Structure 1
Amino acid sequence: MKRKVFVVLAMVGFCLASFGKPGRKPNILFIIADDQFRDHFGFLGGKSLTPHIDRLANEGIYFENGFVSSSVCSPSRYTCMSGHFASRCPQPYFKEGSTEDGVTRILWNLGFIDGQPNVPRVLQQAGYKTGFTGKWHLNGTMHLIDPIEKGSDPYDPAVQKVMRNNQRIIAEEIKKFGFDFTQAVYGGNPDDDKTLKATGCNVHNQEWNTKAAIDFIEQNQDEPWYLYFAPTLMHVPDTFASLTGDPRKSGMGVLDEPITGVQPSRESVLARTKAAGIPDHNRAATWLDDGIGAVQAKLKELGLEKDTLIVYYNDNGMEYHSKGTCYQGGVRTQIMAYWPGVIEPGRPQELVQNVDFAPTFFEMAGIEPPKDMMLDGESLLPIFRGEQPADWRDAVYSEIGLTRSVTSKEWSYVAFYVPPSLQRTQAERVAEAKEYYYGPMLEEHPWMADQYPFLEDGRYFQLGMKPGGFAFERWQLKDPAGTPWAPNYFDQDQLYNLKTDPTEKNNLATSPEYKARLEKMQGRLKNYLGNLPGTYPGLKD
């Protein structure tokens, strides 16, 4: 367990002296995007129109070396809220996913136990008003709601009544984790909710989430607040279909009227993106960007712009083909911070990660975290002040399924050690994946049948629950030149020089001339593993 000691008085003096309203603690707007890959950001050269998000990066801080700890939704979000790596999760059903050898498997099996400290709960107890809108995807909520028969008419008043009650149930459940305000929420992805799927309401509705964010800010403008703003864009389902679909459809079924006036119209999005030549699959990035811009405009209108830190974080890496892996495309992500009058524009080079958000928020709010709260990160406030901390970390750690990795500024080491209890022949893996993974996962995430048709072959085996496993086997996917994205996916030890081989194609782990470098990177990984639960045969027994 790692804990931080905050120099509270000095820190509070720094924070409160920086705002327009003397003595007021800062607001925190935490925006967590969903599968917003590199091509969805205009400032990164993507084929997208995103001026408001670009402004956050260009007028605030954009971390050139920003990382996720786990490259799928649930563990990434768990880490943002808990302040520690997903492998520390105390939930019984997470622990049950460990192998017979004691290796933790990090999947979508994350959640909080009763009373467990987390960011919103700690801030709430310190006097902050806390709000949530958007995608939850942690402790399960789907089992709590009333079922709806497939093919039901979402415009039927009786169906609408059930769906609105289901929304109330999910919103009240999320409140239990430290939120005063929960509005316009999804238990998981829109496609995961069987009632939404049954009625064709499994859609994105950015205006619905934007309105909730603005409602919360307006209701709490006179006191410090923390808002976890989690839009569902740009994840599945089809974002363009949602953008051009019925604007009344939402996560609570069909609304009485479309939500208008909170951000530019959908027609405006379509007109602007058409004029800019944006491809259809990226046009919803402007829809999302408009929502971010509307919230920024509300902060300015209420005089809260200089009282509010905005942190923008993408929950998975920059490249779709690497999601669910420990490769750079999966673990390197977009992290930016915007705080007028406090943060000077820049692109710092420090290695930062989502474990750093909790200590940052606590320090800027003048809060000493509870003694039983495990924190694995460092406060980013020194970097916000333009300092270059001499003792900042020299590598970041990532974990997903059975894979572990460490990344420095120049090197990446990926370890894929299959413990003895999971050693299988290919035929055994296929049979187990079909029996224990493919059926149950499709029931929970039916959209995966279309997105990952090769699941049926049983080739996803590394990461799964029991006993076979599951992996995003991106080695099957190829770049435009026809080269596999991950040709060394199943190599036990993988060492890559990120300066000369940024796409990690050339594994140097078996080259004698890199033996010392391999051992150094393995040592860094062992240091992380030594402070985390579970075993890792070969590197931590």
Structure 2
Amino acid sequence: MQKRLFIVLCLGLACFAQADKKPNVVFIITDDQSWDSIGFMGGKVHTPRLDQMAKEGIYLSDFNVTSTVCSPSRYSFLTGRYAGRCEGEKFMQEHPPGDQTQVENIGELEPDRWNLAKVLQQNGYKTGFVGKSHLINHEWINGDWEKAGLEPYPRDADPSVDPEVNGKMQRNHQKWCEVMMPYGFDYVDGYYCANLRELRSDALFVHNLDWSVSKAFKFIDQSKDEPFFLYFSTTLHHGPGPWMNKFSLDADPRMTGEGFVKEGFDVLPSRKDVLKRNREAGFKDKDAYALWLDDGVGAILDKIKALGLENDTLVFFVPDHGSYRHGKATLYDYGMRVPMLVQWKGHIQPGTTYGGIVANIDLAPTLFDICGITPPTDYTMDGISFKASLMGSPKPIREVLFSELGHSRAVKTKEWKYVAVRYPADVQAKIERGEKFTGFDGEKLDRPYLTRNSHLGHYASASNPNYFVADQLYNEKADREETTNVFAQNPEVAQRMKKKLAKELEQFENRPFGEFTK
């Protein structure tokens, strides 16, 4: 009897310990990726591991980013806040209190405010950051490197033959890693301050997924015995276009964000093998970048499995926003709505789909909920936990989602999307006087782009015919691509959606937006 009681007690304690154990979290975020580069979504590409991930986990079919360029989207993932709430130094210089915000690539993590990684770190997690940031020190990225303590070198220098240049690249990389760590990370490596162009090197202007995955492996190996959080951010599919293989699969795999690494890496199938398998699957070489990224995701999943951590590890896969051809730098749905896959063996029902509206601001509260962590009382978050949705609940977590980009704001429901374009008073006065604005190619425009970045504005406006229209209404059920503006034909719906937008804007104190705010 005593022996039986002892066994029952031990089993009970084991179950309690398992239930009380905080899961590991691996968050994989890609760049500028639309549905057409993922097989199971209808893309004409070969992505067997992502397709399998959809079968083995849950697909969130109406997951959205609330701003559709890199910095603000990533800011919202890591903070649970709208990017318009940013209080970073660069952001506040551009938007002093009382000014209308123009949310774009100046969103930045604040040193003195909470974010997801900081809270996880304080609650026993080992935290790691690998890959693209675009989240801090914007004044370094395109500014004076020497003033920032970084070491310049000739753009055409070859680090494979010039050890002095290679040393500078290595030290610059190390400096960037060090300045990222105080934002809540125990481990930072394989770091890109922004995009490949910001490395200021022709030789390094190539994607290197092998390098990034090798750094992720190192962190997982170091942290496998305790709860860990890995933020893994690949440069794919941002420019330079990886479908041009000279920037990806045909490039020297030893050219990395830290310069030339002579020994290379052995964490992924060879690049020749990627091209070979892609051809055997019936696809052209220009499509092989999708399989390459797929291999990277698969390698991380295989690493977790090999360490026996499948049941203990929650894995997310999501792009930061859609591509240029699908609404980047706009508030249209193909820029906002991106695929999110979530896998957690033994916890999430395989092969399921959740169709409710979810957003990047919801990630932080969801992880706190799943990990049993109460965030600090002074942590400001706008998101809602979707833990119940991951666990099978079909109930919607929200009716309305707010979004912001440049001079535009939007509200989205399952039936309608309303987009408003409003310029600050001084800009609007110029428009009314008939003044012209200079476009990306020097052309004259009746209205300025929504973003300061004319490159973003040029391509976004070229791809979306209603880009400059002040009031836009789209029927989400009849017009998923949001090409037909039905604002004039639906006055009652339009007024209802305008009221919803006004209500959402109330939360942004001292931030005017046309007639919507007092």
Fold shared by both chains (TM-score > 0.5): yes
Q: CA deviation at 1:97?
A: 2.4
CA offsets per residue over residues 321-350 of structure 1, 9 Å max, x none? 410000111111111211111111311111
Residues 318 and 334 in structure 1, CA contact (< 8 A), matched pair in contact too: no
Structure 1 vs Structure 2 CA RMSD: 2.3
CA distance in 2, matches of 1:523, 1:427: 30
2:518 equivalent to 1:538 = no
2:508 equivalent to 1:522 = no
Partner of 2:154: 149
- What are the equivalent positions in structure 2 for 1:327-476 lying under 5 Å apart? 327-344=332-349, 345-389=351-395, 392-423=397-428, 424-425=430-431, 428-431=435-438, 454-457=440-443, 461-465=448-452, 471-472=457-458, 474-476=460-462
Q: CA deviation at 1:372?
A: 1.7
Residues 87 and 110 in structure 2, CA contact (< 8 A), matched pair in contact too: yes
Question: What is the aligned counterpart of 2:165 among 159, 162, 165?
Answer: 159
2:219 equivalent to 1:216 = yes
Q: CA deviation at 1:64?
A: 1.3
Residues 99 and 421 in structure 1, CA contact (< 8 A), matched pair in contact too: no
Question: What is the aligned counterpart of 1:226 among 214, 220, 229?
Answer: 229
CA distance in 1, matches of 2:93, 2:449: 16
Partner of 1:74: 71
CA distance in 1, matches of 2:44, 2:34: 11
Residues 33 and 313 in structure 1, CA contact (< 8 A), matched pair in contact too: yes
- Mark the CA change 1:456 to 1:373 in structure 2 (over 3 Å): closer, same or farther: farther
Residues 463 and 469 in structure 1, CA contact (< 8 A), matched pair in contact too: no
Residues 317 and 334 in structure 1, CA contact (< 8 A), matched pair in contact too: no
- What are the equivalent positions in structure 2 for 1:30-429 lying under 5 Å apart? 30-98=27-95, 102-140=99-137, 141-142=140-141, 143=145, 144=148, 145-155=150-160, 156-194=162-200, 196-197=201-202, 200-239=203-242, 240-241=245-246, 242-260=248-266, 262-317=267-322, 320-344=325-349, 345-389=351-395, 392-423=397-428, 424-425=430-431, 428-429=435-436
Q: CA deviation at 1:319?
A: 6.2
Q: CA deviation at 1:473?
A: 5.4
- Mark the CA change 1:366 to 1:297 in structure 2 (over 3 Å): closer, same or farther: same
2:480 equivalent to 1:494 = no
CA distance in 2, matches of 1:419, 1:22: 52
CA offsets per residue over residues 426-460 of structure 1, 9 Å max, x none? 985535x6xxxxxxxxxxxxxxxxxxxx4443659
Residues 329 and 456 in structure 2, CA contact (< 8 A), matched pair in contact too: no
Aligned length: 488
**SS state at 2:275 partner:** helix
CA distance in 2, matches of 1:318, 1:237: 13
Residues 191 and 202 in structure 1, CA contact (< 8 A), matched pair in contact too: yes
**SS state at 1:132 partner:** strand
Partner of 1:443: none
**SS state at 2:220 partner:** helix
Partner of 1:447: none
- Mark the CA change 1:464 to 1:46 in structure 2 (over 3 Å): closer, same or farther: closer
Q: CA deviation at 1:250?
A: 0.7
Structure 2 stretches lacking a partner, 5+ long: 1-13
Range 421-430 or range 104-113, more displaced: 421-430
Q: CA deviation at 1:492?
A: 1.1
CA distance in 2, matches of 1:88, 1:202: 33
Give TM-score, length-normalised by structure 1: 0.86
CA distance in 1, matches of 2:190, 2:256: 8
CA distance in 1, matches of 2:167, 2:58: 45
CA distance in 2, matches of 1:17, 1:314: 36
**SS state at 2:190 partner:** strand
Give TM-score, length-normalised by structure 2: 0.89
CA offsets per residue over residues 435-493 of structure 1, 9 Å max, x none? xxxxxxxxxxxxxxxxxxx4443659333459x9973553423xxxxxxxx22222211
CA distance in 2, matches of 1:341, 1:320: 38
- Mark the CA change 1:328 to 1:401 in structure 2 (over 3 Å): closer, same or farther: same
Structure 1 stretches lacking a partner, 5+ long: 1-15, 434-453, 478-485
CA distance in 2, matches of 1:495, 1:305: 44
- Mark the CA change 1:319 to 1:190 in structure 2 (over 3 Å): closer, same or farther: closer
- 2:299 corresponds to which letter in structure 1? A
CA distance in 1, matches of 2:16, 2:389: 15
- Identity of aligned pairs, percent? 37
- Mark the CA change 1:475 to 1:319 in structure 2 (over 3 Å): closer, same or farther: closer
**SS state at 1:96 partner:** helix
